[in-house]
Structure 1
Amino acid sequence: MFKADPIVTLEENIVRIERLFDAPIQLVWEVWTNPVHIEKWWGPKGFTNPTVNFDFKVGGSYRIVMRSPEGVDYPIIGKFLEITPFQSFVISDLVDEHPDEWVKEVQKMAGITGDREILNSKLRVLFEENEGKTKVVLITEFANNQIRDGFANSGMKEGWSESFEKLEANALPNPNQISLEKKLKHSQELVFNAFANPLTIDTWWGPSGFKTTTKTMDFKVGGKWVFTMVGPDGKVWPNTIQYKEIRKFDYLEYLHGSGEENKNDDFLVNVYLIALDKNQTLVKMQMTFPDTNVRNAVIAFGAIESGHQTLSRLNQYLEK
């Protein structure tokens, strides 16, 4: 099993932490920027994240509430200052809502006094891919070296190390899989019916700029949905889905491929529709490929971005 330990170095006003992950950059970026994934891994072992608000755009705000095993909340708030897709993002890291006891302890370790605002920092997260693996570099900039040392001595390395372990175990999919998740503000039944309706599925299925045309759709176990997708460049993509299991209203399982006899390109898709509330559904799509090389090739072709665009189009369709 792949195992990488984080590397920590101290620079002028900066704590730098590096960690290597055995996954393509698109997958690692996904689990760092999608709030549904962030709540699975952020924080040391034993910590949960009951609140993850993530308006991932320049100028957007975020708020993550980490809850310790003892039930103490450590809210982290800030704004997104810079975003370069699949390369880096920069956030302000504000401790305004952290407990007073934590603030006093860190100030004591740093040998400083005064307002808590002096503990605020800026975090730059860099992503670098090499041969299918992704290095993540965290560069946290503090007001001075005293505060840098206070944080470094307060368990910063250990906290991030445990977060990274949770990220690998709880957020990254298996080496031959892709996992997409999105929360929709619609009922479980409404979302299920959007997948099941042959008269309307063409209006939302597929990435942005693609047009889907259904030839036949027999929505039942053993039935097939045969359709074409035409890209913005006019290229036609034949598709066939064969339903293996349907559980009303919370689960679909199907084989998806081109349907061409001379191609062995089918992959398995599991769709979970989890009712979080009366009008909120978590859509989880898990795609399983023959091996890691096929998975990585599909990711390089844009599968993750295409999947998100499709789910966004589904959300827009339901809102109408």
Structure 2
Amino acid sequence: MTETTDTPAYKVLNRRRLPFPHAKVYTAFADPEQVKLWWGPHGFTNRIDTFDLRVGGRWLFTMVNENDREFDNVKEFLEVSPERIVMQHIEPMHDFVMTMSFDAVDDDTTELTWIMKFAPGQDPGLAPFLEAANEQNFDRLEAHLQTL
């Protein structure tokens, strides 16, 4: 699925203004040593095997929940810039493209927007769960940024 040619069955949108400079917010994602500390909902940890942040690069990682259940993930970066990262979620289960926008509001504030566009045929019943999980991601990111 490509973002420009497919009409998704649904999308999940999350947005938050973070009281941190653009470069700090972007780097928290662009640096795999940082992203592994905050990615995922509450209670998850991450093992990152590959994080090749370039167009065509792959992000291979395993999320582990509080019950030690493992969730392998494969994503491919379709677009990469300090203002916008677009990635195709390849495995497991879901077919979606995620766009992450990093917009500087002023010198000390960044608006982070995540849009997950799902391919036709995906279960739209997941949307409320994913919206809540993304908000937890934002909570974890904000807490991480406060420690830097």
SS of 2:98's equivalent? strand
> 2:53, 2:107 → 1: CA distance?
25
Residue of structure 1 in register with 2:133 after alignment: 306
* Aligned structure 1 segments of 4 or more residues deviating by more than 3 angstroms: none
**Which of 212, 221, 228 does residue 46 from structure 2 map onto?**
212
Asked whether the 8 Å contact 1:237–1:258 carries over to 2, the reply is: no
Alignment of 1:254-265 (within 5 A): 254-258=87-91, 265=94
Asked whether the 8 Å contact 1:178–1:295 carries over to 2, the reply is: no
> 1:229, 1:189 → 2: CA distance?
26
Q: Which amino acid aligns with 2:76?
A: Q
Asked whether the 8 Å contact 1:177–1:295 carries over to 2, the reply is: no
Q: Report the CA distance shift for 1:295/1:192 in structure 2 as closer, same or farther (over 3 A).
A: farther
Q: Cα offset for 1:222?
A: 0.6
Residue of structure 2 in register with 1:184 after alignment: 18
Q: Cα offset for 1:295?
A: 4.8
SS of 2:43's equivalent? coil
Confirm whether residue 223 of structure 1 aligns to residue 84 of structure 2. Answer: no
> 2:124, 2:23 → 1: CA distance?
33
**Which of 282, 304, 307 does residue 111 from structure 2 map onto?**
282
Q: Cα offset for 1:175?
A: 5.6
SS of 2:49's equivalent? strand
Structure 2 residues without counterparts, runs of 5 or longer? 1-7
> 1:181, 1:212 → 2: CA distance?
23
Residue of structure 1 in register with 2:3 after alignment: none
> 1:177, 1:285 → 2: CA distance?
10
Confirm whether residue 268 of structure 1 aligns to residue 101 of structure 2. Answer: no
Q: Which amino acid aligns with 2:24?
A: L
> 2:123, 2:53 → 1: CA distance?
27
Larger Rg: 1
> 2:9, 2:61 → 1: CA distance?
29
**Structure holding more strand per residue:** 2
SS of 2:67's equivalent? coil
Confirm whether residue 250 of structure 1 aligns to residue 83 of structure 2. Answer: yes
Asked whether the 8 Å contact 1:251–1:271 carries over to 2, the reply is: yes
How many aligned positions are there? 140
Q: TM-score w.r.t. structure 2 length? A: 0.87
Residue of structure 2 in register with 1:236 after alignment: 70
Q: Which amino acid aligns with 2:125?
A: A
Alignment of 1:1-320 (within 5 A): 176-247=10-81, 249-258=82-91, 265-291=94-120, 294-299=122-127, 302-320=129-147
Structure 1 residues without counterparts, runs of 5 or longer? 1-173
SS of 1:228's equivalent? strand
Structure with greater contact order relative to length (CA < 8 Å, sep ≥ 6): 2
Q: Report the CA distance shift for 1:196/1:217 in structure 2 as closer, same or farther (over 3 A).
A: same
